[in-house]
């Protein structure tokens, strides 16, 4: 895609920290939330496309990432903290409501933004990650360990410094290739093997990303490191405790869930059955579901299709 205009960059003070945002276009606000291990740049295609079609597209580096502040304490990475950052961004831009799009961890944050402050979200598009109801009895990491074992990425990422030391055995470009281009069914390593060692490094890049684009991610992680991003995983059990007041709550915001049919655990892990079930529709009653041919980072892999789905959805909501 040709860039219709330059991307503008600024740092915004919100919730006690500085958040870097990339923005393009004017019009209704669309907030684009990246996942792990990404930065604002993962939304480069959608920023340009939404700007061309009359929207103000804003993609922050979430706290801990890129050019945003990165608090040291893992307890500063709860969903309450991140959602608080986003509310501050909406206030900064003078918007009562925004359309929100979120992938991977960005989807999880977006679901919680919809849960805490549905009055601030006009519509939500979460590629890849459905809304999973909170267990009333078992903490998140405990549940994942019970299902997938100690060598799942979530369990390996809990120990401070462990994943950072493992990642440091590779250059950042290789780390990006291993994660952003992964095609594995589950992020579970064999016993005694680190996730980063388990993930293969593709020898040939897929057509949807270039070495130069991967270097944008790699250069930024070389500067900022991985501890901030990994702290999201280290706050998962604290999130479980803090989310207790919303036990049993539904997501009432209009939502368009987009899944890649080759995403991690989609077929074999039971995700397909869940997202097509009455349970998912009951907890997200205002729901559309779209399944595309693709993997986990589908907003980059199938950028035009995902952009079209986003635009179609928010245009429809704009008419309501």
Check residue 152 and report its DSSP letter.
B
Query: What does the alpha-carbon distance between residue 258 and residue 254 come to, in Å, rounded to a whole number?
Result: 13
Residues, the chain, total? 320
- Rounded distance between C-alpha atoms, residue 12 and residue 102, angstroms: 20
At residue 3, the pLDDT reads: 46
Cα–Cα distance measured from residue 174 to residue 28, given in angstroms and rounded to the nearest whole number: 38
- The pLDDT tens digits of the residues spanning 78-103 come to 999 999 999 999 999 999 999 999 99
Radius of gyration (C-alpha) of the chain in whole angstroms: 18
The catalytic residue positions are 104, 233, 296
Question: Residue 55: CA atoms inside 13 Å, Cβ hemisphere, count?
Answer: 23
Q: Torsion angle, CA of 201/206/212/216, rounded to 10 degrees?
A: -70
Its sign, for the CA torsion 267, 271, 275, 276, is: positive
Mean pLDDT of 45-59: 97
CA distance 78 to 193: 28
Report residue 218 CA to chain centroid gap. 18
pLDDT for 7-16, tens place per residue? 999 999 999 9
Q: What is the pLDDT of residues 248-273, one digit of tens each?
A: 999 999 999 999 999 988 877 788 99
Strands 29-33 and 287-292: unpaired
Mean pLDDT of 156-171: 97
User: 180-196, pLDDT tens digit by residue?
Assistant: 999 887 899 999 999 99
Under 8 Å between Cβ of 215 and 249: no
Q: What are phi and psi of 246, to 5 degrees?
A: -100, 15
pLDDT value for 4 = 45
User: Could you read off the pLDDT of 200-247 as tens digits, one per residue?
Assistant: 999 999 999 999 999 999 999 999 999 999 999 999 999 999 999 999
8-317 under CATH 3.30.70.100, yes or no:
no
Q: CB within 8 A of 238, min separation 6: which ones?
A: 74, 75, 78
Q: What is the distance between the alpha carbons of residues 245 and 249, in angstroms, rounded to a whole number?
A: 9
311 vs 146: CA distance, rounded Å: 39
Q: How far, in Å, CA of 198 to CA of 189, rounded?
A: 6
Q: What is the pTM of this model?
A: 0.96
Asked whether residue 5 carries a pLDDT value surpassing 70, the answer given is no
Both tokens of 124, joined, read: 């939500």
**pLDDT of residue 1 exceeding 50:** no
C-alpha count within 13 angstroms, C-beta hemisphere, residue 16: 7
Rounded CA separation 137/260 (Å): 30
């Amino acid at each position: 895609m040709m860039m219709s205009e330059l991307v503008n960059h600024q740092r915004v003070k919100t919730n006690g920290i500085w958040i870097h945002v990339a923005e393009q276009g004017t019009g209704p606000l669309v907030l684009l939330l990246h996942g792990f291990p990404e930065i604002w740049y993962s939304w480069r295609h959608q920023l340009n496309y939404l700007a061309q079609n009359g929207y103000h597209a804003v993609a922050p580096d979430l706290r801990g990432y890129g050019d945003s502040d990165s608090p040291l304490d893992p307890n500063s990475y709860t969903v309450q903290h991140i959602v608080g950052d986003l509310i501050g961004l909406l206030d900064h831009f003078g918007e009562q409501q925004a359309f929100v799009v979120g992938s991977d961890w960005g989807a999880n944050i977006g679901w919680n933004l919809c849960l805490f402050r549905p009055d601030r979200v006009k519509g939500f598009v979460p590629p890849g990650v459905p809304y999973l109801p909170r267990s009333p009895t078992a903490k998140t990491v405990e549940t994942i360990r019970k299902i997938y074992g100690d060598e799942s990425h979530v369990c390996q990422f809990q120990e401070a410094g462990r994943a950072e030391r493992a990642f440091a055995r590779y250059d950042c470009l290789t780390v990006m290739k291993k994660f952003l281009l992964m095609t594995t069914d589950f992020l579970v390593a064999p016993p005694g093997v680190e996730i980063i060692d388990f993930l293969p490094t593709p020898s040939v890049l897929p057509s949807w990303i270039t070495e130069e684009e991967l270097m944008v991610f790699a250069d930024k992680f070389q500067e900022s490191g991985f501890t901030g991003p990994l702290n999201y995983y280290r706050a998962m059990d604290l999130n479980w405790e803090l989310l207790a007041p919303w036990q049993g709550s539904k997501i009432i915001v209009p939502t368009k869930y987009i899944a890649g049919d080759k995403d991690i655990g989609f077929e074999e892990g039971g995700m397909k059955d869940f997202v097509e079930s009455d349970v998912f529709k009951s907890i997200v009653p205002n729901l559309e579901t779209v399944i595309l041919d693709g993997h986990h980072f589908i907003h980059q892999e199938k950028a035009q299709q995902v952009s079209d789905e986003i635009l179609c959805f928010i245009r429809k909501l704009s008419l309501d």
